[in-house]
A and B are shown apart, each in its own frame.
Chain A
Amino acid sequence: MSTNILGRAVEILLVEDNPGDIRLTREALKEGKVSNNLYIAKDGVEGLEFLRREGEHANAIRPDLVLLDLNLPRMDGRELLEIIKADDDLKRIPVVILTTSKSEEDVLETYNLHANCYITKPVDLDQFLKVVKTIEDFWMTIVKLPSNSERPV
């Protein structure tokens, strides 16, 4: 695997409750060209704990990218998005909405909540793999992110 713009493995937090999708994402990232570490949170609450290093996730690593599903138990993706984007410490972390919904409403609402991009999960496997790779490629090798988004010591 080639190095990315950061010169180290990319830290990715996936907030997703469906094990099938988790696995698929993991598979897709495996095939990617960027070295990465994938962390999983099963719902919004856990996602927030991870980001804030609370509870079990006291030693969590600050992710470079958040992949966020919308329909989640306990705290759904919209709420988590809103909290992240309202938090001065977290708001610069790019959040990619990755969901089954094609609903215009969802698209509009999440962009209003400052989502960084919105992607509908394709049914076709090849399509799905391609999408994940594209995300990785775009955010990790093309985009210039602020330096303070680097993981703290």
Chain B
Amino acid sequence: MKLVTKLTLIFLLLTIVPLAVVGFLAYDNGRRTIEENVFNHLSSINIHKEDEFELWIETNQRSLRELSRRPLVRDYTAFMSSENVSNQDEEYQTLYAKLIEEHFGPTLEEEGGFLDLSILRAVDGMIIISTDTALEGKYRESASFFLEGKQASYVDEINYSITEGELVLHISTPILDDSGELIAVLAGHADLAEMSDIMTKRSELNDSEDSYLVNKFNFFVTEPRFGHDFALKKATHTEGVDACLLGDDGEGIYLDYRGEVVLGAYHWLPDHDLCLLTEVDQTDAFQPIHKLRNTIAVIAFISGVVVTALSVFYARSITRPVDRLIAGVDEIGSGNLEHRIHIEVSDELGLLAESFNQMTVNLAESQQENIQLVAELKAGSVELERRVEERTKDLKAAQLATLSMMEDAEKSRQIAEAVSEELRAAQIATMNMMMDVEDARTQAELNEVRFRSLFEESPIALLEEDFSAVRQRLTDLTRNGTVDLKTYFAGDNQAIRECSQLIKVISINQASVKLFKAHNQKQLLEKFGDIFVDQSLEILGRELLTFWNGEMNFEEEFIHQTMAGEQIWTIVKVSIAPGYENSWEKVFVSIVDISEQKKIREAVLREKDFSDRIINSIPGVFYMFDDEGKFLRWNKNFSQVLEYSDEEIAQMHPIDLFEGEGKAIIAERIQQVFVSGQSDAEAEFVSKSGVATPYYFTGFRMDTEEKPILIGTGIDITERQRWENQLSEKADELARSNEELERFAYVASHDLQEPLRMVASYLQLLERRYADHLDQDAREFIAFAVDGATRMKRLINDLLEYSRVGTRGQEFDSTNLNLVLGRVHVNLQAALEESGALISKPEMPTVLADESQLVQLFQNLLANAIKFSKEGDIPRITVSVQDLGHEWQFAVKDNGIGFDQQYAERIFVIFQRLHSKEEYAGTGIGLAVSKRIVERHGGDIWAESEPGEGATFYFTMPKDAAAQ
């Protein structure tokens, strides 16, 4: 769109829019005011009509009441309604005539509100007198005006009377005698024509104003203005009527009974169950405002025309210098940098022209800078190449030094990647530079010599080729029906080779000669086809397809063959030069040798494969994750046990593999590994399907350059836990069975005593009572039997004592052994005195023990030492104690008869004796009980002796209560 048109339109818009807005607002405002006025007017008409209506009814009621109270009327009525009067009676006839002529007739004429008047007999509602003689003799006993009228003055509803065949309104009032007794009911038939007159009286404001009454059944009660014979024959269901019949007052705009849009006000008359509506046509009401609207439209049109003319004129004056500016810029744009724009005006346009002139000067200067830029690009690529070489050196060093370590293998791979990245960057930069240069050359006429030298000296192998013959071939192929080149190339390397031979090499730089190990450019040009081996032909096929499909760039890894016959890995980037998209006459190719990186990468991959094999051969699980819990490596067992895929594991946190308290344990131990270098844990691995398996994990921290890593392994300890559980169950079982055994021994020995006592007692009773009748033998037999029973009793008591060590022991408490030995001394008083034994004892320690059992222990040992003394010798007993660090070792040494060391263990077995009962009394329980006591305290007891050399009994007692 031209500027002139635009400006004109803008001016027009600026004028018309405000005008339209103001016009609309004025119109809308006026309309609202009128609407409001009309509604007010209609409502006031309603009120006015209601008043008139009520007044009319009241007047009628009043005149009826007045009539009913006339004394003569009352008297006449009283006479005429009495039962014993016949209407044929003379007096009756006289009174009837008087009543009609003197009272009813004048009332009808003067007041004019009734069509006829009647008197209904109070007894049965019969009409006895009426101005309409046809009604006389009829009964209205169930009419509401009769029933209500007996009580008080009453106005009936307006309704359609079937008997009278028209609309009627009855008003009634009682006729009472002097004492207030009811005589009859006076009823008047109101003249509804008068009511209709009230409704149809109109104000002069509007032609279409219309007032009417509607009853509660939606029927017209008065004739509306635009209807004929509607009253009580037609129903209306307009919005106004419906709202009004709900008992509301209000106003609105709606369709009336004719279907016209009207403004209406409605008013509910609750006393009469009627709705009063006053309406006026919308078109009629809004007539003034429509006039205003038309005026505004005319004004708008006139201003539009004037403004258009003015704006065209003004716009012209602005665009003229702009046109000249455009012409000048076009001139400069077409290459004439010498051109200057001349605009004499000094406004913004003049300044703009000035700026253009300045810009032209700058443009000429920047062309020079462009050439400078190309040189900088070249320097940049040389720098890149240098950095690539440096990193390659790093890579080799790293590879040699640390190839065998997994961690460094990863590092090597990263460096290799970095080198490749940088090489790629260099290549892309060079390529872009060549493209830019080519671009610059075509557009800014860059010196061809400079371009050549850039091309020639680039450190990246560059080739400039002509693919137009190839393109021709492809075009021919498609035309010959080989529609799908992809399929065509796929099965036939020869076809690609033929294409490759169609590539015309235009120029090759020095770096290419070096890359392909050619003697010189000439050799490379002549034997160019040799650089493609079979594998590279496939890639070339893809390259050609790419170009054929309209792409201008292609890049991929290639395998090439040098002139020396060796294969090299390369990255080749091929781009069709801008401007040659259709002919393919100029194509730039850059080639980077990545054989070195490839080798390193393969070595790294082998290294990775090696470590993968190692970690996969571990019987348990192996995993590595960083300090943020991201898994870096894991073995197959790991994913198999957990049932997660490698992708899922890569997204998971180690804590996710545990549940419940396992989560807390593992979190704490991981923390520990990262803080202190290593840790271990037992927890249940929870697999994806919810299977929990107990594992024992060990983890170590490995610090890499970037961050610390946790390396861990875990083994399934289900089996071990099972054994542990079994072991603990067995131990519990054993403890239980031991306890039962002790209990059994206790109960058994206890119950054994009873029969023994019987045996002994009755034998003794026998001996006592019948001593005189028994001979020596009998007495001796009895003595043996009693002795046997007594000994058995003792054995049982000993057994009881033995079992009590385990079952009836007291809690361990701090026990002073000096006091213990004191008590022993007291208990053994008699034996000591009898034997004259000498006991030496050191200061004894305080131990944690069952005091009464220790009394028994020392007592047994000392009593034994006294008992087994040599005949004639005074027993010398030495008690000693030795601190062994974690336990005390006590010894009781005597100078008694001793025993052969081979019995050293046997003497501690219950009821085992080394001597006959005749030699030394006793059941052989003492040492067995002693052993149990020592064992209960967590110690050991043993004896050393030689026959005739005395004996030493040793026992130990741990100091640590926990060991007991």
Contacts and interface: CB of A to CB of B under 8 A. Distances in A.
Contacts of A100: 750, 753-754, 757
Contacts of B793: 123
B765 A24 contact: yes
Contacts, number: 37
Interface stretch (A40-48, A54-62, A124-132): A124-132
Interface string B738-770: 000000000000100110111011101100100
B616 interface: no
Contacts of A123: 753, 756-757, 760-761, 789-790, 793
Contacts of A37: none
Nearest to B758: A20
A27 interface: yes
A18 B751 CA distance: 13
B761 A20 contact: yes
A27 B764 contact: no
A128 B753 contact: no
A78 interface: no
Nearest to B752: A100
B785 to A, nearest CB: 13
Interface string A99-123: 0110110000000000000000101
Interface residues of B, number: 16
Interface in B594-651: none
Interface string A10-43: 0000000010110010010000000000000000
Contacts of B764: 124-126
Contacts of A101: 750
A21 B759 CA distance: 11
Nearest to A69: B754
A121 B793 CA distance: 13
Contacts of A126: 764
A18 B754 contact: yes
Main secondary structure of the interface of B (DSSP, over half): helix
Contact of B765 (A21, A27, A104, A121): A27
B754 A128 contact: no
B761 A128 contact: yes
A18 B808 CA distance: 28
A104 B765 CA distance: 30
A100 B756 CA distance: 11
Contact of B768 (A18, A21, A103, A125): A125
A123 B765 CA distance: 12
Contacts of A18: 754, 758
Contacts of B750: 100-101, 103
A104 B757 CA distance: 20
A20 B756 contact: no
Contacts of A125: 760-762, 764-765, 768
A128 B765 CA distance: 11
Q: Which of B750, B753, B761, B789: most chain A CB closer than 10 A? A: B761
Contacts of A104: 808
Interface in A80-114: 100-101, 103-104
Interface residues of A, number: 15
A21 B753 CA distance: 13
A27 to B, nearest CB: 7
A121 B750 CA distance: 13
Contacts of B760: 123-125
B175 to A, nearest CB: 105
A138 to B, nearest CB: 22
B669 to A, nearest CB: 51
A30 B750 CA distance: 29
Interface in B769-816: 789-790, 793, 808
A48 to B, nearest CB: 23
B164 to A, nearest CB: 110
B897 to A, nearest CB: 32
A100 B793 CA distance: 12
Contacts of B762: 20, 24, 125
A31 B213 CA distance: 138
A105 to B, nearest CB: 8
B816 to A, nearest CB: 24
A6 to B, nearest CB: 30
A126 B763 CA distance: 12
Interface in B713-739: none
A49 to B, nearest CB: 25
B761 A24 contact: yes
A14 B793 CA distance: 25
Contacts of A103: 750
A14 B758 CA distance: 17
Contacts of B757: 100, 121, 123
A88 B238 CA distance: 103
B346 to A, nearest CB: 129
Nearest to A27: B765
A27 B848 CA distance: 51
A123 B762 CA distance: 10
Nearest to B754: A100
Contacts of B761: 20, 24, 123-125, 128
Q: Which of B757, B760, B764, B768 has the largest count of A CB atoms less than 10 A from its CB?
A: B757
A128 B760 CA distance: 11
Nearest to B800: A102
Nearest to B794: A123
A31 B727 CA distance: 64
B98 to A, nearest CB: 120
Interface in A120-148: 121, 123-126, 128
A104 B750 CA distance: 13
Nearest to A19: B758
Contacts of B754: 18, 100
Nearest to B763: A125
Nearest to B793: A123
Nearest to A20: B758
Contacts of B765: 24, 27, 125
Contacts of B768: 125
B754 to A, nearest CB: 5
Contacts of B790: 123
B791 to A, nearest CB: 11
Nearest to A24: B761
Contacts of A124: 760-761, 764
Of A101, A124, A125, most B-chain CB atoms within 10 Å:
A125
Contacts of A121: 757
Nearest to B769: A27
A126 B767 CA distance: 12
B96 to A, nearest CB: 118
Interface string B220-259: 0000000000000000000000000000000000000000
A69 B757 CA distance: 15
A153 B760 CA distance: 43
Interface in B41-59: none
A102 to B, nearest CB: 8
A77 to B, nearest CB: 14
Contacts of A27: 765
Interface in B548-598: none
Nearest to B790: A123
Contacts of A24: 761-762, 765
B744 to A, nearest CB: 15
A126 B764 CA distance: 8
A31 B46 CA distance: 139
Given A24-B762, A100-B757, A128-B761, 11 more contacts: A20-B758, A20-B762, A21-B758, A24-B765, A100-B750, A121-B757, A123-B753, A123-B756, A123-B789, A123-B793, A125-B764
22 contacts: A18-B754, A18-B758, A21-B758, A24-B762, A24-B765, A27-B765, A100-B753, A100-B757, A101-B750, A123-B756, A123-B757, A123-B760, A123-B761, A124-B760, A124-B761, A124-B764, A125-B760, A125-B761, A125-B762, A125-B765, A125-B768, A128-B761
- Pick the 9 closest A-B CB pairs, nearest first: A125-B764, A20-B758, A125-B761, A123-B757, A100-B754, A123-B760, A100-B753, A123-B793, A125-B765
Interface of A: 18, 20-21, 24, 27, 100-101, 103-104, 121, 123-126, 128
